[in-house]
Structure 1
């Protein structure tokens, strides 16, 4: 109760509350101090206590509204009142001490999980208002990050009634036996005479039951895949002449065909490696439609990777296939995939989605696989290429109507999957093309989201031209007891049909050298120029155009239609020079590329192998020219190894560069080892 209200109720005070004339315009309510000043005949209070006024009403104001320095006119200075008790969104001031004497007793305190407060008690305080009205108590909830403190104010009977009602609410949401640790809280009820500050609450800490989580996960997996149709994997019928090959014949044949090496990655007892086939009939004699397609294309004999991969894949075994670029890895998984789709127990018209999925790291590679898939048609299977930058609405329309084979980049496929436009539970045959790039360039989170909806007993194929150590360890989580086939060696090796030339020049002379190289080309030569940065691609292509040289450019910042047009012009020979980033180092299958020109050295040695593999494809010969500057000295040693392995000439300056970098590393490591640690010199590593 305010001061002036007390005075008005006492006749002996002799003071009356001043009344404003009827004609006086409305003014905001005055504060307690303002009224006291006027009643006692004093001056107006200081300016900082004045009410809100529109700007312009005071001297120096510029218009608009102005907030006072300390208080607004709505802040009334009232006598100190009992504690404000809030519950949910409800708030109330207890203005009369006499009407709330029961609040003097100690509150009943306990803790609840914060999620329970919102779920059971109700958001916005709706349930709390009902509890307070029914029990006559007052409830205050202090919400924390993990648990919330609940205090019930009132008499003992009111507290007991409110606590019983809260327990009833909890029991409706939890069927477990009644205990004092329900929903993660433990009640400590103080004595009625205890002071409120001594009230103690002790939350119960629960450990994670990992065994229960694993058991529930296994049960969920069983329930998730329980209604899947049966699946077949083994369709291989070994020819009699292949089965009769002796071990010496198999070893000799593998060595003569680029040194094919096989390894069983299954832990425990090793399995026998299937014998390689020597012609197409050995693998597809029972599939006449595939044989007729092969004859139309005009292939003479299988490539080394195909001859060893087909017997493995047709048996339903997971495979990692590593071979040089342009050696037929795409056909190594496509043709067995057609047979896999055709011979599944569930008829084609009863399947709920596609059966074969090929994931590729770039749009260009995805489109290249789609072109190969369309070339080798089989049993009327429909295929689609899904990639970012394409017509999303058109891709959705085709997918929803039904397809058998999906070739996709992970980003766009994940988009359609998350929006329920495509069902991947029917996938039984999965391929990761250029798997090392897929797992190394940040696609792994998207791939893991995709694999969640693909049945775990699928058949999985991985192919690539390079296989770094980090990718080898990571790939094991995607495959189940795979066989590994690599042609040549797992060490980095370039195709032996490409002549590699390396030039060490200053950075400022690279453009002049490139123009000289282009001037020396023959009319029918076709060159792919690799550049490290997108802006340099545009800059270099503009320089060529200004000098009258027909050129196209390709990098990730160009629109998809422009990228497709650039590739089409290059393939058809409309332009014979294509300037590109590493976007074109994989999946670009242009058979008549005669030269690869590395204007900038790639970011790693694996990309160098993929770059020069764009020429010398399908048995043809090619030439690569690589410009190396002083900033590339850290890769000199690895480049020397690749050149020597391919019997290529190594410049003497490259040896000197590698030696200088070796000494630099030794000096740098020794200086780092001599850094004092905790007052001592660390002499040993």
Structure 2
């Protein structure tokens, strides 16, 4: 038994011993005048003793048992008849009478900050008003508030604390000894008094009942929302007169437009496509004024078929290649949807339209489109990470109609209750496949759950992977699907694709030669795989006197915006970028896309190539392939063949060699054999290197 255990009993109470009794010659501790021997010292340990790790009521200072000012409480110093911690006095009342055991309140960590106040101001006010001394011990999820003083002082402090955190059920009392054997309650009140003060005991959540009554609770959640109107489509006579054969021929001639009703029962008639802007928006003159001002001649195929579906109030899944006008396909019907709602704009309490996008650049681009087609003075805001959060909060809280946001920043504003999503009636998930690739699905789910169920939802994507199908099934209600071309992955047909097989060390020399032979009207977007490569390549070009900008995720937001604007305005004709620019970058006059590094998957290759050949223009892509990219050769050949492009013989040979290597690896897996530690693995690497060591 240690010295400490010899001087105190199992409850932490000092043991009175006759002189000379003990394990050593040291005498029993002497308490200050007026302090009872059963005083409990919380925090760092017993007076002048070694803390025991076997006693639940004693804690080591290293356990983080600190007071408000961050100092661990110690009971080994005396001053003026009081036991002191560091910076805070405990033990006896201010009138010199003996102190009672502290009353303990258990509070959730989320509410402790409300009690403490900024800089500890509220806790000091509580102590001054009640005359008590309060200590806070934080745990992982909850904290204990220890109130020292007389019974009246403790009662007063407890009442003030409960009033401070009123409205929640976060205060609980320690259990009695009979309920938790081995744990001594620190409260001086009886069990009956404690239970009556704590209120009704919380019952466990019945998750099965919640799941079974999900529809009931969701109906209760949204029952107080105002009515919603979604159908605004008035079919023109010229559209209604079109025969099924005429519509079939038009869809085939316009890049094989296909429409499918995804409702499982009771298929609905598919609206006929519109051939002109007037057929879609003849009843909305302000929309027509915007279109005439911009100078568009006719709708794109995705717009011609999507507008009748969306204006009819149906959910839509739009699948089309990049640069085919998907943004305008949902934006113009969204303006009409917000304007025609029965609730006036000033009474909705929040925005009416939300567009979720994967990247900041795409969000800024959509905001520019909103401003270009301004309608009914709708106010839009772009919310994205990296921007001025305070300015975004100010604009959101001042009142907006359209929010274009990245999921991360919007989820931040939503969790802090800075934006009202219950007013959203028109939701757009733009580039849904890219948002899933970037890992935004949890944030998207949190956001969507706070938006009314009877909203109208539009989802756009360039591809149709499994993740997008799952998202569509979960959050769209009986949608129609419109896709242009095919659901199989395919590159834009207006781009000439060239593939060159080179050595890794030859790539930079090729880029220098390519730029040297550029025409004055050429504008080139160079894609690299890593941020450091983007900086390295752009620096080398600058040292050669070539005007260039770089775009990647490590640059400040203002620098990214400046780089993109310089490229759009033509102040620089070369932009070196990571896959950050593969989606949402809408620069119509890009003539060449150069894949300096092959992308990590074939989908990104298709999106990179889609940055050129936009809005009816033609373009050229050049892809540099090295021996390290041989596993992608077969998929690249498939894309080239679908687009009718020439397939280099070296690329075919690369794909054959990789397939042979893969089969051999499956048949003869490498196993460690003699030759010392790691010898088998080394031989496997040597075999792989030898198999790769062939020239193009």
2-structure distance, mates of 1:434, 1:289: 28
Asked if residue 491 in structure 1 is aligned to residue 488 in structure 2, the reply is yes
1-structure distance, mates of 2:315, 2:219: 22
Q: Please, which of 567, 585, 589 is the counterpart of residue 588 of structure 1?
A: 585
Aligned partner of residue 262 in structure 1, secondary structure:
strand
Match of 2:17 in 1: 2
Given the two structures, how large is their TM-score scaled by the length of structure 1? 0.72
1-structure distance, mates of 2:541, 2:433: 34
1:30-59 CA-to-partner distances (Å, cap 9, x unmatched) read x763279xxxxxxxxxxxxxxxxxxxxxxx
1-structure distance, mates of 2:388, 2:299: 37
1:272-325 CA-to-partner distances (Å, cap 9, x unmatched) read 221111111111111111112111111111100001100111111111111111
Q: Please, which of 520, 533, 551 is the counterpart of residue 530 of structure 2?
A: 533
Within a 5 Å distance, the mapping from 1:117-196 to structure 2 comes to: 124=146, 148-149=180-181, 166=191, 169-170=194-195
Match of 1:320 in 2: 317
Match of 1:606 in 2: 603
Aligned partner of residue 618 in structure 1, secondary structure:
coil
Match of 1:366 in 2: 363
Maintained 8 Å contact 1:440/1:471: no
Within a 5 Å distance, the mapping from 1:192-591 to structure 2 comes to: 209-214=206-211, 217-591=214-588
2-structure distance, mates of 1:625, 1:611: 11
2-structure distance, mates of 1:84, 1:630: 66
Within a 5 Å distance, the mapping from 1:43-58 to structure 2 comes to: none
Aligned partner of residue 624 in structure 1, secondary structure:
strand
Cα distance change on mapping 1:222 and 1:571 into 2, 3 Å: same
2-structure distance, mates of 1:389, 1:272: 45
Given the two structures, how large is their TM-score scaled by the length of structure 2? 0.71
Match of 1:41 in 2: none
CA apart distance, 1:87: 12
Aligned partner of residue 4 in structure 1, secondary structure:
coil
2-structure distance, mates of 1:257, 1:613: 18
2-structure distance, mates of 1:35, 1:149: 34
RMSD of aligned residue pairs (Cα, Å):
3.6
Maintained 8 Å contact 2:433/2:467: no
CA apart distance, 1:397: 2.0
2-structure distance, mates of 1:223, 1:168: 37
Maintained 8 Å contact 2:457/2:476: yes
Cα distance change on mapping 1:471 and 1:669 into 2, 3 Å: farther
1:195-251 CA-to-partner distances (Å, cap 9, x unmatched) read xxxxxxxxxxx9x74442235654543332222111111111111222222222221
1-structure distance, mates of 2:46, 2:147: 29
Cα distance change on mapping 1:319 and 1:2 into 2, 3 Å: same
CA apart distance, 1:440: 2.0
Aligned partner of residue 149 in structure 1, secondary structure:
coil
CA apart distance, 1:457: 1.2
Match of 1:33 in 2: 24
Asked if residue 622 in structure 1 is aligned to residue 619 in structure 2, the reply is yes
2-structure distance, mates of 1:662, 1:524: 42
1:526-575 CA-to-partner distances (Å, cap 9, x unmatched) read 10000000000000001001111111111111111111111111111111
1-structure distance, mates of 2:191, 2:177: 16
2-structure distance, mates of 1:271, 1:651: 47
Maintained 8 Å contact 1:553/1:579: yes
Deviates more, 1:534-543 or 1:318-327: 318-327
CA apart distance, 1:167: 5.7
Aligned partner of residue 318 in structure 2, secondary structure:
strand
CA apart distance, 1:125: 9.4
Match of 2:643 in 1: 646
Aligned partner of residue 586 in structure 1, secondary structure:
coil
1-structure distance, mates of 2:452, 2:202: 36
1-structure distance, mates of 2:493, 2:215: 50
2-structure distance, mates of 1:359, 1:500: 32
Match of 1:109 in 2: none
1:65-85 CA-to-partner distances (Å, cap 9, x unmatched) read xxxxxx999459xxxxxx999
CA apart distance, 1:666: 2.0
Maintained 8 Å contact 1:320/1:485: yes
Match of 2:667 in 1: 670
Aligned partner of residue 331 in structure 2, secondary structure:
helix
Aligned partner of residue 526 in structure 2, secondary structure:
strand
Deviates more, 1:533-542 or 1:293-302: 293-302
Maintained 8 Å contact 1:284/1:290: yes
Maintained 8 Å contact 2:56/2:183: no
Aligned partner of residue 384 in structure 1, secondary structure:
strand
Within a 5 Å distance, the mapping from 1:32-111 to structure 2 comes to: 33-34=24-25, 74-75=48-49
Cα distance change on mapping 1:349 and 1:4 into 2, 3 Å: closer
CA apart distance, 1:495: 0.8
CA apart distance, 1:657: 1.1
Match of 2:657 in 1: 660
1-structure distance, mates of 2:351, 2:211: 31
Unpaired segments ≥5 residues, structure 1: 7-30, 37-70, 77-82, 90-113, 131-139, 154-161, 176-181, 185-205, 676-685
Maintained 8 Å contact 2:177/2:184: no
Aligned partner of residue 585 in structure 2, secondary structure:
coil
Aligned partner of residue 650 in structure 1, secondary structure:
coil
1-structure distance, mates of 2:26, 2:255: 103
